[in-house]
Amino acid sequence: MYFTLLIVVILTAIVLVAVALGLAGVISPRSFNAQKGEAYECGIPTRGNSWMQFKVGYYLFAILFLMFDVETVFLFPWAVVVQDLGVYGLFSILFFLIILVLGLAYAWKKGALEWK
Protein backbone atom coordinates (compact mmCIF):
# COMPACT_ATOMS: atom_id res chain seq x y z
CA MET A 1 0.00 0.00 0.00
CA TYR A 2 2.83 2.39 0.86
CA PHE A 3 4.51 1.61 -2.44
CA THR A 4 1.30 2.46 -4.33
CA LEU A 5 1.06 5.73 -2.45
CA LEU A 6 4.68 6.55 -3.22
CA ILE A 7 4.02 5.97 -6.92
CA VAL A 8 0.92 8.18 -6.68
CA VAL A 9 2.96 10.97 -5.06
CA ILE A 10 5.69 10.75 -7.71
CA LEU A 11 3.11 10.80 -10.51
CA THR A 12 1.40 13.77 -8.86
CA ALA A 13 4.64 15.73 -8.94
CA ILE A 14 5.23 14.93 -12.61
CA VAL A 15 1.63 15.75 -13.56
CA LEU A 16 1.77 19.04 -11.62
CA VAL A 17 4.83 20.24 -13.52
CA ALA A 18 3.54 18.96 -16.86
CA VAL A 19 0.13 20.62 -16.40
CA ALA A 20 1.64 23.93 -15.28
CA LEU A 21 4.10 24.01 -18.18
CA GLY A 22 1.48 22.77 -20.66
CA LEU A 23 -1.02 25.42 -19.60
CA ALA A 24 1.63 28.11 -19.87
CA GLY A 25 2.62 26.74 -23.28
CA VAL A 26 -0.96 26.96 -24.52
CA ILE A 27 -1.86 30.47 -23.37
CA SER A 28 1.52 32.21 -23.48
CA PRO A 29 2.48 34.23 -26.56
CA ARG A 30 5.18 33.13 -29.01
CA SER A 31 7.41 35.52 -30.84
CA PHE A 32 10.73 34.94 -32.52
CA ASN A 33 13.74 37.12 -31.95
CA ALA A 34 17.30 35.97 -32.41
CA GLN A 35 18.40 38.00 -29.38
CA LYS A 36 16.13 36.02 -27.05
CA GLY A 37 18.29 32.93 -27.25
CA GLU A 38 21.36 34.70 -25.88
CA ALA A 39 22.54 34.15 -22.33
CA TYR A 40 21.29 36.73 -19.83
CA GLU A 41 24.52 38.21 -18.57
CA CYS A 42 25.57 41.82 -18.96
CA GLY A 43 23.89 42.94 -22.14
CA ILE A 44 26.98 42.38 -24.27
CA PRO A 45 27.40 38.99 -26.01
CA THR A 46 28.75 36.41 -23.59
CA ARG A 47 32.39 35.39 -23.97
CA GLY A 48 33.60 31.84 -23.70
CA ASN A 49 31.82 28.75 -22.51
CA SER A 50 30.38 28.43 -19.01
CA TRP A 51 31.08 24.71 -18.87
CA MET A 52 34.58 25.03 -17.58
CA GLN A 53 36.80 23.95 -14.73
CA PHE A 54 35.51 25.20 -11.42
CA LYS A 55 36.98 26.04 -8.03
CA VAL A 56 38.08 22.87 -6.28
CA GLY A 57 36.98 24.08 -2.83
CA TYR A 58 33.38 23.16 -3.56
CA TYR A 59 34.31 19.57 -4.38
CA LEU A 60 36.42 19.33 -1.23
CA PHE A 61 33.37 20.15 0.86
CA ALA A 62 31.34 17.66 -1.15
CA ILE A 63 33.83 14.90 -0.24
CA LEU A 64 33.72 15.90 3.43
CA PHE A 65 29.95 15.90 3.26
CA LEU A 66 29.96 12.38 1.84
CA MET A 67 31.90 11.13 4.86
CA PHE A 68 29.55 12.71 7.38
CA ASP A 69 26.39 11.87 5.50
CA VAL A 70 27.25 8.19 5.41
CA GLU A 71 27.92 8.52 9.13
CA THR A 72 24.40 9.88 9.60
CA VAL A 73 23.00 6.95 7.63
CA PHE A 74 24.80 4.57 9.99
CA LEU A 75 23.64 6.46 13.05
CA PHE A 76 19.92 6.33 12.22
CA PRO A 77 19.40 2.57 12.83
CA TRP A 78 21.49 2.82 15.98
CA ALA A 79 19.45 5.78 17.24
CA VAL A 80 16.24 3.75 16.96
CA VAL A 81 17.49 0.95 19.24
CA VAL A 82 19.79 2.85 21.60
CA GLN A 83 17.19 2.83 24.41
CA ASP A 84 17.18 -0.97 24.42
CA LEU A 85 20.94 -1.28 24.10
CA GLY A 86 21.60 1.04 27.04
CA VAL A 87 25.18 1.65 28.17
CA TYR A 88 26.48 -0.92 25.67
CA GLY A 89 25.02 1.13 22.81
CA LEU A 90 26.50 4.33 24.23
CA PHE A 91 30.04 2.94 24.37
CA SER A 92 29.92 1.18 21.03
CA ILE A 93 28.89 4.39 19.27
CA LEU A 94 31.43 6.39 21.25
CA PHE A 95 34.28 4.69 19.37
CA PHE A 96 32.55 5.29 16.04
CA LEU A 97 32.10 8.98 16.83
CA ILE A 98 35.67 9.36 18.10
CA ILE A 99 37.04 8.04 14.81
CA LEU A 100 34.80 10.45 12.91
CA VAL A 101 35.76 13.41 15.07
CA LEU A 102 39.41 12.50 14.51
CA GLY A 103 38.69 12.61 10.78
CA LEU A 104 37.11 16.04 11.09
CA ALA A 105 40.00 17.25 13.26
CA TYR A 106 42.47 15.99 10.66
CA ALA A 107 40.64 17.80 7.85
CA TRP A 108 40.52 20.93 10.01
CA LYS A 109 44.25 20.77 10.78
CA LYS A 110 45.12 20.15 7.13
CA GLY A 111 43.21 23.30 6.20
CA ALA A 112 40.43 21.61 4.25
CA LEU A 113 37.86 23.73 6.09
CA GLU A 114 39.49 27.02 5.14
CA TRP A 115 38.03 28.80 2.13
CA LYS A 116 40.96 29.94 0.01
Q: How far is CA 13 from CA 8, 26, 56, in A?
A: 9, 20, 34
The residue within the footprint of other proteins, chosen from 44, 53, 56, 80 (CB under 8 A), is 80
Task: Tell me which of 36, 43, 110, 111 binds other proteins, using CB under 8 A.
Answer: 36
- 3-state secondary structure at position 71: helix
The span from the CA of 26 to the CA of 79, in Å, is: 51
Site for other proteins in 48-77 (CB under 8 A): 49-51, 54-55, 57-58, 61-62, 64-65, 68-69, 72, 75-76
Separation CA 101–CA 39 (nearest Å)? 45
Instruction: Give dist(CA 81, CA 58) in Å, integer.
Output: 36
Q: Give me the least distance between CB of 103 and other proteins, in Å please.
A: 11
Q: Would you state the torsion angle of the CA atoms of residues 89, 91, 93, 99, taken in this order, to the nearest 10 degrees?
A: -170
Cβ of residue 79: shortest distance to other proteins, in angstroms?
4
Residues in contact with other proteins by CB under 8 A are 2, 4-6, 8-17, 20-21, 23-25, 27-31, 36-41, 46, 49-51, 54-55, 57-58, 61-62, 64-65, 68-69, 72, 75-76, 79-84, 86-87, 89-90, 93-94, 97, 100-101, 104, 108, 113-115
